[in-house]
Amino acid sequence: MLAIEKNTALIKAEALRLGFSSCGIAKAVQLDGDAVRLERWLKNGYQGSMQYMERNFDLRIDPRKLVPGAKSVITLLLNYAPAQKQATAAPKIAKYAYGIDYHFVIRDKLNELLDFIKVNVGEVDGRGFVDSAPVLERSWAVRAGQGWVGKNGNLLTRHAGSFFFIATLISDLDLVADVPFATDHCGTCTRCIDACPTQAIVSPTEIDATKCISYLTIELKDALIPSSFHTKMEGWMFGCDICQDVCPWNRFSKPNVEPAFTPLPEILNLSLHEWEEMSEETFKKVFKNSPLNRPKWKGIQRNLRAIRVTNHP
């Protein structure tokens, strides 16, 4: 037991040294309750064109099928709250996309953590994930004592709000599990539900992605944003932070200290017209390692046409 406790403390200390905001651990078990909720969500068609959500259902609900012999699920949070704000005239971009693509940043940190474990604890089988595999990150974060799922569907913490990424490391290492987060601190507050311009929050914690501005501007890929949403975009060109910005718990968020998340000047300062005039060649050069590269230049131009309705009739 002493070895398990020692290994747990070592891993948590190294996670913080690597820059993660916090680290929690849960036992690797099948998520039966989440399986029921996920099945209902998919049946309602709330995934829209995100067909990847329909695949690998069994893997999503059981980490032992992703990593054979898995015993622990390590959840890591990484703060991305920026110190700077966009210029008033700039098309709105979700805060998580101000700097370098978080996938690059977190994958490097996860690989470092896994290497540390192999050197200091012993040879282990483990895989790190950051929203690129069938893992229910928020569910594991709650089980690892990190926070609760708010009415806006985001993981919330009492000390730092919700502006952070969730990474998961599934391992066959036996570790001391944290106490699951069992309370909900949203209370009677409905600010996120009331503020959503497209009414994407159909009920507390349940999101219809097909109505979400983040989905419309990023996940919809080559399809046009339905004209019925054009007057509801509120200037969001990439993603949306409305439900997080109005959340009272985010008054506790603090600016991140990750150099890779330093905002690109173009994201902070370019006007709607300057974005529209940007060539595809310039876009590829400036945003090569940015999350904005996901919908590509073509997708960004599509989004600009949708928000111009409200910005410049």
> If we measure between CA atoms, which residue out of 229, 215, 210, 231 comes closest to residue 295?
215
Active site residue 108: no
> If we measure between CA atoms, which residue out of 109, 300, 125 comes closest to residue 217?
300
Residue 60: how many CB atoms within 10 A of its CB? 20
CB-neighbour burial class of residue 187 (10 A; exposed 0-12, middle 13-18, buried 19+): exposed
| CA–CA distances in Å: residue 93 to residues 166, 169, 248, 286 | 20, 29, 21, 15
Is 118:16 a contact under the CB 8 Å cutoff?
no
> If we measure between CA atoms, which residue out of 232, 224, 241 comes closest to residue 303?
224
Give the start-end residues of each E strand in the chain.
22-27, 72-79, 92-93, 126-129, 148-149, 155-156, 164-171, 201-203, 206-207, 236-238
> If we measure between CA atoms, which residue out of 201, 208, 144, 202 comes closest to residue 171?
144
Task: Report the alpha-carbon distance of residue 64 to residue 43 in Å, rounded.
Answer: 25
Q: Running DSSP on this structure, what letter comes out for residue 251? A: G
Is 212:219 a contact under the CB 8 Å cutoff?
no
Alpha-carbon 299 to chain mean position: 20
Q: Which of 58, 108, 115, 131 is catalytic?
A: 131
Active-site residues, by number, are: 131
